[in-house]
Chains A and B, each alone.
Chain A
Amino acid sequence: MATVADLRHGQKGIIKDFTENTLPIKLLELGCLPGNSVELVQVAPLNDPIYINLSGSHLAIRRSLAELIELDIVEETKSK
């Protein structure tokens, strides 16, 4: 199962429906809802934390949290 932690630079994913209550409510409020997109913007030099664009919200979260967010990776042809 892919999670936000599996994203590569510039890669996007669509958040899957989650049934478990493992995610902190704060993350939901910042836009981490099923169906919303996540993009990996940057990875910190020591590989952690990661910097994501969560449907318009730019956030840095730790990998441990990112591993809890399941998603479908959108295979994007690099247009840049």
Chain B
Amino acid sequence: MSKNINVALIGNPNTGKTSVFNQLTGLKQKVGNYPGITVEKKEGICKLPRGVKAHILDLPGTYSLNTTSLDESLVVELLLNKNDKDYPDVAVVISDVENLKRNLLLFTQIKDLKIPTILVINMADRMSRKGISLDIEAMEKKLDTKIALVSTRKNTGIDRIKELIADYKSISSKPILDPNRISPEYFERLQKTFPQNDLYKLWLVITQDVNFMPIEKKRIQDATDFATKSKDELKKLQHKETVLRYQLINNILKETYKVDFMAAKGLRASMDKILTHKVFGYLIFFVILLTIFQAIFDWSGYPMDFIDEQFALGAEWIKNTLPPGIFTDLLAEGIVAGIGGIVIFIPQIAFLFLFISLLEESGYMSRVVFLMDRVMRPFGLSGKSVVPLISGNACAIPAIMATRTIENWKERLITILVTPFTTCSARLPVYLILIALVIPEGNFLGLSYQALTLMLLYLIGFGMALLSAMVLNKILKIKSRSVFMIEMPTYRLPLLKNVGYTVIEKTKSFVLGAGKIILAISIVLWFLGSNGYSDDFKDADQIVTERIENEGLSTYSKNYIQNNIAAYQAEAQAEGMSPTAIQDSIQVLSEELSERAVAQEIASYKLEHSYIGQAGKAFEPIVKPLGYDWKIGIAVLTSFAAREVFVGTLATIYSVGSDEEETIKNRMAAELDENGQPLFNLASGISLMLFYAFAMQCMSTLAIVKRETNSWKWPMIQLGFMSVFAYIIALIAYQILI
């Protein structure tokens, strides 16, 4: 028989379940989503002794089979459904030696489902330090199972797990607690009505708020008054069940588990005193935040520039090597540029998740939640929203991915919806160029107006996120059952292997998940920008060449050539070149420059008459009240793909032909409106900045929101609301300032 053994890893959070999973499967793991929901599904293959293989499924961490979150419901659902292809042949419950009592609660519940269940006691390396001693043999007898004592940190005991899995047929599947002990009267009646069904499973179906496939909840409700027995009474029985289970566990542990408190040493108390201190706690958190920011903002700049260059070179190479034609253009400008637009985010995502997983692995993250919970409460959020919201100031994509740690769906959804208001790094180039253009130099209390404006924009973004969270909290009618409760795990040195896996896995899921959508939209945008229906577009080369022949180059192009030549001349003279040599090379240079100028004017003309250009013109009446002309309109429109293309698009339209910020800035400053006044003035500049502050202009974020909420509904609401809101604010700002 070559069928793989189906194994389900189950355990409380913070027991090192993921470490065990990583040790068992190595890199032979697959991370996906459960169909229809956004709970992560991790599975992998493990080679066992005697040539057998096991399919390992890492179920979400849960404290018990009484569910309060989507993740936990999923565990119960799988364990109740014998027909599921992942239904385990054997369950492996991972426990932590320090919290064994609590972990055994889950163990007894799983065992009562009559699934062969192995107990793994992890973190054995901490036993001596905590003064714990175990009698494994006696415990195996009492619990009627096999136990593996494991330390994933020291890499011991993993082979024992593999042995036990391979030998799963010899593991008992007898239940531990007889449900009749909870309430004889109630369970007898239940058994009489459903003689075919297992009592404990029936009980779970009745008490859980989930629908389970094999035993239909509705049938039970319709047939009897078991479920309609008042909620209070059911809850009382659940309480009783828990008490009974603990009695059982206490009896077992009394004889097999000893803790010598005198020998116990812990860092916890002293570290917590500092890390959750009224002053130092916040200070340390602040320093850590600064480091994360520095990494995402600054350090990731180097790999990002490198990626940017490589893709530009790649596109260039394709254009020069392949025969010219629509296919080559598609490849170079659509596909390669599109993939580049995805890959460019990898450094930021990798950095953020490097830090997040370090913080989580070490146990510090729970302390952050503890410190910040009260601060976030007025906005309908909890401490768990802090990290995503702050990460949003670097990039909304990893920030939204980081909301997965929020169990409460309503809170998580609100966090996802408001995060894009925070000032991500893609807004920065837009802000910087506009601030330099329209905000006067000068000081206020030693701070420059320009720096103050930038700071204000950051505050506006964060404030808006909190404000809309408050509003959403009032509007959204989502039932959320879970109470705020977070475990404060012991501090541990992060396992590099786990951190590495997390970084790889998150990056991969971004590239594969959001990547597809981004690539598709890039191709569409490329198509719209490089095609047009009018004759103007088709004959652009000819029209522009003719115009240049008749009227000469545009004033801007002329200036561009002159300035470049003047600069070259000055440089050459400074270097002491002979006048004739200078004259000769200027000749060559000016030919080159005018060739480039012509190409730029053609590109600009083409863009003006492409579908996007046409759209920009059609769009003009809409953006006119905000103080923009059709050119800015196009830049705003293309920015809906990603904000940072604003500068690049303007460069193309103004046929500047270089991404050199200074050049574009000068060109923008020279742009006049129909009255001969500078187009970029205080009013239009501020209106533009506010528009960028509030509008949802990032298709990557939309793609990730779609993925995380599993529907187009939320990203579309986000896009609609934020854009309309941005428009209104920009309109008001312009009309007041003008």
Contacts and interface: CB of A to CB of B under 8 A. Distances in A.
Interface of A: 21, 24-31, 33-34, 41-42, 44-49, 51, 55-62, 65
A59 B482 CA distance: 15
Contact of A41 (B102, B235, B272, B374): B272
Contacts of A28: 239, 242-243
Given A29-B66, A30-B63, A46 B374 contact: yes
A43 B490 CA distance: 17
Nearest to B259: A56
B238 interface: yes
A13 to B, nearest CB: 18
A63 B239 CA distance: 22
B520 interface: no
Contacts of B101: 31, 55-56
Contacts of B115: none
B485 A29 contact: no
Interface stretch (B301-309, B325-333, B363-371, B572-580): B363-371
A1 B64 CA distance: 31
B281 interface: yes
Interface of B: 63-64, 66, 68, 98-99, 101-102, 105, 232, 235-236, 238-239, 242-243, 246, 268-269, 272-273, 276-278, 281-282, 366, 369-371, 373-375, 383, 482-490
Given A28-B242, A44-B371, 16 more contacts: A24-B68, A27-B485, A29-B63, A30-B485, A33-B246, A41-B269, A41-B488, A44-B373, A45-B282, A46-B374, A48-B373, A51-B276, A59-B485, A60-B366, A62-B373, A62-B484
A24 B483 contact: yes
Nearest to A29: B64
B480 to A, nearest CB: 13
Given A25-B239, A26-B63, A45-B278, A51 B272 contact: yes
A16 B276 CA distance: 29
B278 A21 contact: no
B102 A29 contact: yes
Most B C-beta atoms less than 10 A away, residue of A29, A30, A33, A46: A29
Per DSSP, are chain B's interface residues mostly helix, strand or loop, or mixed?
A: helix
Contacts of B242: 25, 28-29, 33
Most A C-beta atoms less than 10 A away, residue of B268, B269, B374, B482: B374
A49 B488 contact: no
A26 B485 contact: yes
A30 to B, nearest CB: 6
B236 A61 contact: no
A58 B239 contact: no
Given A29-B64, A31-B101, A62-B373, A51 B484 contact: no
A57 B485 contact: no
Contact of A21 (B99, B239, B243): B239
30 contacts: A21-B235, A25-B238, A26-B68, A26-B482, A26-B483, A29-B63, A29-B242, A41-B272, A42-B273, A42-B276, A42-B370, A44-B370, A45-B371, A46-B374, A46-B375, A47-B374, A48-B374, A49-B373, A51-B272, A51-B276, A51-B370, A56-B99, A59-B487, A60-B370, A60-B487, A61-B483, A61-B485, A62-B373, A62-B483, A62-B484
B370 A65 contact: no
B487 A57 contact: yes
B67 to A, nearest CB: 10
Contact of A58 (B64, B281, B383, B487): B487
Nearest to B242: A28
Shortest Cβ-Cβ A-B pairs, 6 listed: A46-B374, A58-B488, A45-B278, A21-B235, A60-B370, A29-B64
Nearest to B282: A45
A59 B488 contact: yes
Contacts of B485: 24, 26-27, 30, 59-61, 65
Given A21-B235, A21-B236, A56 B98 contact: yes
Contacts of A26: 63-64, 66, 68, 482-483, 485
A36 to B, nearest CB: 9
Given A29-B63, A46-B375, A60 B102 contact: no
